[in-house]
Chain A
């Protein structure tokens, strides 16, 4: 009897193994290795050849059933593993041809944010993303509904989502060992409670002929970015008001691509973000007062691919806030006084499709402080090797 049971168990196990082999998901890995030097005086990297710990991303993706797909993207960044994106999508079968995506993923605010850095034409993350989204991009937990709109020969989608809002508190954490700041100037705590944030994107794709295409998008995000006590009276026994501070991000993006053949491509792309939020500031009596601020950031770049294997390009960046600096106010994105701008140039070499890429990027940053603080410009040079193993899918357009 025991033998029969063992045999039956082995048979079942075998059939499960066969089923799993025939429906294996796609497994891919992308590695990224950076060598860099900095010409920022006083920085420990100044004039030296520095080696970053290699970054890696492991993708497991595939269909769950005829209607849904799932993606697991486990990333190894700065020596630590974390779930970069873990989500499922219902891609067909729902009324009105709605698609639903739920889990943790890069949010559809603008076009670049949804694309992983290894697939960008350039090397350095756009400056405004570093200020308003953080070093890892606008990545959050929640879900969104995607509608396809009846716009004839123009492919138009409307995406509406609701998210936990972790992205807002995590964005600048890497800059500070403590999430809660308590020094004299920055006494606010980042405490959002359970307030969700909302995000929407409307994008239209225009085919301009056999070789040229254009995509235009509008994005927005709204929510509470902080809740804190508001001291507006000198009375020491006065109970402070609890204030919810809101933000609104409006974005516009544009991408044009001309690709006459498989050896040549020219891309012109730009994105801009408008940030409107209410912030607390201190007056001469050290009392809080509320203020609405409006700031913005933008980038524009071109990339020219030639002989299939080479690319060259340049990007101009601008943002309110000072990159990689201590915040002047509560967070970097509350800074409406100081500005950073940058110019980046790159040369890419892709010897065999996208399986291997070498990119040399040079970025020159310029800082402008409202209080006339003098700071030298900074130049960084980065040599990047990116390698891709497995069937990781190309990004659309």
Chain B
């Protein structure tokens, strides 16, 4: 009996030791890693789904998470400008940092010298690429490669998970494209320039932004020009992320009659969005049913 207990103890201890410890910057990457890694990874994230990932506060508790991690996955394209401080603070010299943007074709790469007069422009391209589900597949592939390289003994497990998730995602992409098909060329006003990958995938047109320039708060004169645009082009939707103030969009909506949709762009941005598929489901359903 004692022998059996000891065997069970050592086997479970070995399984626990074999787990790859992963920290991700966002909840979307967290969910993708969880789906590929399954029970062979222990994954945690830094930025909550209802937080603006551009401006994460440098907290020592995040350093502690990174201190215990083997792998650190980030979006890249200078979205997480705060990451180097956390990595230094973690003092984890064996931490491997993986930039998932390396497998992505970035959009909106500035063609002129970038400076602060353009707002918060990302010099290497728009970093919100996870909102295109096809890009999520590139992210999954890279996650699979990195997990397999770190834990080769679990490669078959990761591969099986990856293929099963790909199949699920492919089915959902067909469903999402169908739902969005009646919105081709439809003009929508967005709050922040986070949507180019989503709109390009589903054929929606970005008519304008509530922010006068990326990351710059709305101004009365810009609101007036957006009101004119909405009225002229008969636009009926303003889409904004959940962590922004809806004061300016609501003012514009009250004049134009457009509907304001508060939509998360990260997993757990709303309680009901507990996975990447839930998230894109929610976004597609909200836009297609209100568009």
The interface of chain A, by Cβ under 8 A from chain B, is 67, 69, 91-93, 97, 99, 148, 153, 155, 205, 207, 210, 213, 215, 259, 261-263, 307-309, 351-353, 355, 389, 391, 393-397
Contact = CB atoms under 8 A, between A and B. Distances in A.
Contact of B216 (A153, A207, A352, A397): A352
Nearest to A352: B216
A210 B27 CA distance: 14
Given A262-B243, A355-B116, A91 B88 contact: yes
Interface in B103-143: 116
Q: Kindly list the 9 A-B residue pairs having the minimum CB-CB distance in the complex, ordered from nearest.
A: A155-B60, A205-B60, A97-B91, A396-B58, A207-B61, A92-B93, A91-B88, A155-B64, A93-B93
A69 B59 CA distance: 20
A396 B85 contact: yes
Given A92-B93, A261-B243, A309-B217, A397 B59 contact: yes
Interface stretch (B48-56, B153-161, B186-194): B48-56
Nearest to A389: B116
A6 B116 CA distance: 40
Contact of B61 (A213, A263, A353): A213
A346 B215 CA distance: 26
30 contacts: A67-B93, A92-B91, A92-B92, A92-B93, A97-B93, A99-B91, A148-B67, A153-B64, A155-B60, A155-B61, A155-B63, A205-B61, A207-B61, A259-B57, A261-B243, A262-B51, A262-B52, A262-B243, A263-B245, A307-B245, A351-B217, A352-B216, A389-B116, A391-B81, A394-B58, A396-B58, A396-B60, A397-B57, A397-B58, A397-B60
Contacts of A352: 216-217
Given A213-B61, A352-B217, A394-B82, A92 B88 contact: yes
Range for the number of chain B residues in contact with chain A: 20 to 34
Contacts of A210: 48
Contacts of A91: 88, 91
Interface of B: 48, 50-52, 55, 57-61, 63-64, 67, 81-82, 85, 88-89, 91-93, 116, 215-217, 243, 245
A396 B61 contact: no
Which of A91, A213, A215 has the most CB atoms of chain B within a 10 A radius of its CB?
A91
A80 B55 CA distance: 35
Contacts of A394: 57-58, 82, 85
Contacts of B89: 396
A148 B58 CA distance: 17
A93 B92 CA distance: 8
A261 B81 CA distance: 19
Nearest to A98: B91
A395 B58 contact: yes
Nearest to A147: B91
Which of A91, A93, A396 has the most CB atoms of chain B within a 10 A radius of its CB?
A396
Nearest to B215: A353
